[in-house]
Structure 1
Amino acid sequence: MDDAPLSGFHKKLALYSSGGPFLDGYVLSIIGVAMVQITPQLDLSDSAQGLIGASALIGIFLGAFVGGWLTDKFGRQLLYTIDLIAIIVCSVAQFWAADPVWLFILRLLIGMAVGADYPIATSLLAEFTPRRYRGPLLGGLVVMWFVGAATAYVVGEILLSAGDDGWRWMLASATLPATIIVLLRHGTPESPRWLANKGRTEEAEAILKKVYGPEATIADLSAEEHEDIDVTAIMRSGYGGRMLYICVFWTCSVVPLFAIYAFGPKILDALQLEGGLANIGEALITVMFLLGCVIALLGVNRMGRRTLVIHSFVWSGLALLLLGIFPHAPSGVIMTLFALYAIIIGGTQILQWIYPNELFPTEVRGSAVGLASSVSRIGAAVGTYLVPLALTSWGIGGTMIAAAAISLVGALVSVLWAPETRDMALHEAAALPTRTGESAETAGRPASV
């Protein structure tokens, strides 16, 4: 499996798995445009704006770990569709939201479903993908996050002209892509690695033969150590150190980004890009985010995971720092710095899906991805909630400097702890150094912190 050629099955699985990140980017970004109409119509305070903007992130925090635990317990395939059905139902219900509390609850539920999809889809993709393509395909899921975000800003700008109910159509519009993804995912097989770990070897071998050909057998999975590891092992020994790094690096990567997306037009307005120009500017910056992820995907196997994450944090943090120091620079300079941030941060974005899936064994892979995603969303939700208050209290300059500081913290912890997993088979990357005979130095950085 680790050395198999890339097939049409792998490409389709990667495309279908990217549906969750697409919806995440869409849902989290469309609220930034919708808030232009929601705020006056529902008479929202700064605090209420922050809560509604952060509601989906809070939901992701709740849903990601639960979804990870469920997918490790009951399998990847079962939950692969159920979570998207929940998104469809709640997205439709948003159209009739009549008050801030109802809207907050619905977006909380949508966030829970989106969060659950992260560990489900990424674990399934990681466990099917050959080592040579694992990094680019897992990282490619993040590209779809930005495709979803860019789509949301274009759709939002169009629907703003639909009258006072434009925001309702914006929030309900996620129903269409979610329905398409549900239909495409139908018939996806269960992970043979998960089946083998549960003792269901006949089912695992049947799927292996169907995907990889009649020569494939359950022996192709024998290199992986099948140990009795439960979720508490994540927090012990070397896995505790790995989880600490993943949580810190992921949090530092998403806090500035999600804050920018939830209140992108408002931030750009504060930087003297007003009205429709702010929405279009946000869409253009999203394209730059997308470009940055594509560039990072092309370089992740050449540069290695460790080098990429460090450089991405350092130079993107510098771009935010310059925005904070020169908040009243000409609009061309502002857009250039935002574009630089968007392109350079692509390295940390793609590694959000690569690192967690590579550093933990099959038994707890879903739970580990879910836990890391949940912890990162705590910081992202707090950061998103504080954006309106920060803009009021600190101004745009102080807000951007705070975002830069978070990015530079990510750079520091990556210098200290980031491992290197390039060219490793999945079971090799997931094993602790002491189990493979490696020294901590050979592994890139200590497995325990």
Structure 2
Amino acid sequence: MNADQQLTRTERLDRLPVTPKHKRLLLGSGIGWALDAMDIGLVSFIIAALAVHWDLEKSTTSWIASVGFIGMAVGASLGGLLADKIGRRQVFAATLLLYGLATGASALAWSVASLMVFRFLVGLGLGAELPVASTLVSEFSPRKVRGRMVVLLEAFWAVGWILAAVIGTFVVANGETGWRWGFAVGALPALYAIFVRMGLPESVRFLESEGRHDEAERIVRSFEAEADPADYDTATPPHEEPIQGGIWGPALRRRTAAFWTVWFCVSLSYYGAFIWIPSLLVEQGFSLVRSFTFTLIITLAQLPGYAAAAWLIEVWGRRTTLSVFLAGSAVAAFGYGFAGAEWQIILAGCLLSFFNLGAWGALYAIGPELYPTAIRATGTGAGAAFGRVGSILAPLIVPPVLAFGGSTAVFGLFAAAFALACAAAFTLPEQKGVALA
């Protein structure tokens, strides 16, 4: 028996270089991720438009945003559980189909109540898809670049949010029915779900846990067939000791508590800021088109934030990268609260985009590495579900805090949440270069 035959399938995957098949997996998952972001981003522009066209109060527009996050909280929990039961690819495709169709239906909404029902269904699919996609990419990525691959996956979020800003600026702002056309464009994931189901491989770790060894072997060999053996990583990686029990068992409860804290604080601050920025700019006296243009410029800063995090996560490690970007987010949020001139708003907003989205990339990279295969999607999904509680609260707390202390108080609150997340991130274990359990 040669050395290759003595390796497990997961060890064979870990030592591979990045192959064209890895890139197709990343692109296929990433396009779905971008479409997710486009949908959420559209809401921030659409509620600003509906507030004008339907003469809605802040409390009403807050609930339109929050009901989608309620669906995301439910979806994140169910999606992770289902992915550990029936497979990553199946859940990924089903959730894309659900939220794509529900987004298309949102374009036909005839009242606030009907819109909220459709937004809940959108959130249900969206919340289930995100942790499943990151788990799938993490389980296939070569060990040396696993963190970077997941950050690059998360970088597609910026692409989607930029698309949302473009649609918001040139479609949603274009008349009273522009928001309906915006939602119609957001229905594209329903078509993409068909490709996902046919084109992406199932997780080898999941297949092995289900006893489907022949299928798992075929998938590993298909990746090996595209790799040059001279580029294999032959180093022996450190292994984390096998961990028994659930995510709140004695061995995992500390990392779960820290992980949930980071998720909650980042969700609260990110969605509180970026869902409300277009509306707050309109309230400051900027026109709908001008406020959307400012938001588009701010959104573009997400891309270099992801690029920096993708590079640093394999240089500094997961924990340090996450903590530094969270600290930068806290400073940027504080600065935005005091911004008054146009250039100050754009500068502080761009810095907030840069650091916040870099932090998101690191968070999605570290999540799947915290848990063993049997509960990986469950643990990742549970953290995301708890984080969605923050995103549910975010749109609701902005109006009263804004009335109490203005934008300074709102963004001061977000800065404090980012600082708390930074402190929690320092307590997470460093998993750079560690083989997945």
Residues 323 and 195 of structure 1, relative CA distance in 2, 3 Å threshold: same
Residues 211 and 158 of structure 1, relative CA distance in 2, 3 Å threshold: same
- How far did 1:126 drift? 1.4
Distance in 2 between residues matched to 1:224 and 1:194, nearest whole Å: 19
The answer to whether 1:105 aligns with 2:103 is: no
- How far did 1:37 drift? 2.9
- In the other structure, the counterpart of 2:310 is 297
The answer to whether 1:123 aligns with 2:135 is: yes
The answer to whether 1:134 aligns with 2:150 is: no
Structure 2 runs not aligned, ≥5 long: 1-12, 230-237
8 A Cα contact 1:60 1:116, kept in partner: yes
The answer to whether 1:352 aligns with 2:369 is: no
Tell me the alpha carbon deviations over residues 408-445 of structure 1, each in whole angstroms, 9 at most, x when there is no partner.
11122223x13211121222xxxxxxxxxxxxxxxxxx
- How far did 1:200 drift? 1.9
Paired residue type of 1:108: F
8 A Cα contact 1:268 1:278, kept in partner: yes
Tell me the alpha carbon deviations over residues 327-360 of structure 1, each in whole angstroms, 9 at most, x when there is no partner.
43x2212221221222122331112211111111
Distance in 2 between residues matched to 1:55 and 1:213, nearest whole Å: 46
- Percent identity, aligned pairs only, is 27
- In the other structure, the counterpart of 1:84 is 96
- The partner residue of 1:6 within 15, 18, 26 is 18
- How far did 1:41 drift? 4.1
Tell me the alpha carbon deviations over residues 211-237 of structure 1, each in whole angstroms, 9 at most, x when there is no partner.
223999xxxxxx9899896xx711111
The answer to whether 1:423 aligns with 2:433 is: yes
- The partner residue of 2:274 within 261, 268, 273 is 261
Q: State which drifts further: 378-387 or 269-278.
A: 269-278
Distance in 2 between residues matched to 1:160 and 1:118, nearest whole Å: 26
8 A Cα contact 1:135 1:300, kept in partner: yes
- Structure 1 residues 295-334: aligned runs within 5 Å: 295-324=308-337, 326-328=338-340, 330-334=341-345
Tell me the alpha carbon deviations over residues 362-403 of structure 1, each in whole angstroms, 9 at most, x when there is no partner.
101111111011100101110122223332332111111111
Residues 238 and 156 of structure 1, relative CA distance in 2, 3 Å threshold: same
3-state DSSP of counterpart to 1:5: coil
- Structure 1 residues 166-205: aligned runs within 5 Å: 166-180=178-192, 182-205=194-217
- In the other structure, the counterpart of 2:6 is none
8 A Cα contact 1:84 1:182, kept in partner: no
- In the other structure, the counterpart of 1:242 is 255
Q: Please tell me the root mean square deviation across aligned C-alpha atoms, in Å.
A: 2.3
- In the other structure, the counterpart of 1:431 is none
8 A Cα contact 1:265 1:279, kept in partner: yes
- How far did 1:176 drift? 2.2
Distance in 2 between residues matched to 1:293 and 1:265, nearest whole Å: 22
Paired residue type of 1:207: I
Tell me the alpha carbon deviations over residues 50-98 of structure 1, each in whole angstroms, 9 at most, x when there is no partner.
1101222111101011011001011112222111111222122112111
Distance in 1 between residues matched to 2:374 and 2:92, nearest whole Å: 18
Tell me the alpha carbon deviations over residues 79-138 of structure 1, each in whole angstroms, 9 at most, x when there is no partner.
221111112221221121111111111011111101111232222211111111211111
Distance in 1 between residues matched to 2:403 and 2:390, nearest whole Å: 20
Paired residue type of 2:247: I
Paired residue type of 1:316: S
- How far did 1:251 drift? 1.9
- How far did 1:43 drift? 4.0
Residues 316 and 88 of structure 1, relative CA distance in 2, 3 Å threshold: closer
Distance in 1 between residues matched to 2:287 and 2:349, nearest whole Å: 16
- In the other structure, the counterpart of 2:380 is 369
- In the other structure, the counterpart of 2:36 is 24
8 A Cα contact 1:20 1:114, kept in partner: no
- In the other structure, the counterpart of 1:441 is none
Q: State which drifts further: 270-279 or 342-351.
A: 270-279
Residues 143 and 349 of structure 1, relative CA distance in 2, 3 Å threshold: same
8 A Cα contact 1:289 1:343, kept in partner: yes
Distance in 1 between residues matched to 2:414 and 2:175, nearest whole Å: 35
- How far did 1:271 drift? 5.3
Distance in 2 between residues matched to 1:272 and 1:165, nearest whole Å: 23
3-state DSSP of counterpart to 1:263: helix
- In the other structure, the counterpart of 1:430 is none
- How far did 1:198 drift? 1.7
- The partner residue of 1:396 within 389, 397, 407 is 407
Distance in 2 between residues matched to 1:172 and 1:210, nearest whole Å: 38
3-state DSSP of counterpart to 2:367: helix
TM-score (norm. length: structure 2): 0.89
- How far did 1:301 drift? 0.6
Distance in 2 between residues matched to 1:179 and 1:210, nearest whole Å: 26
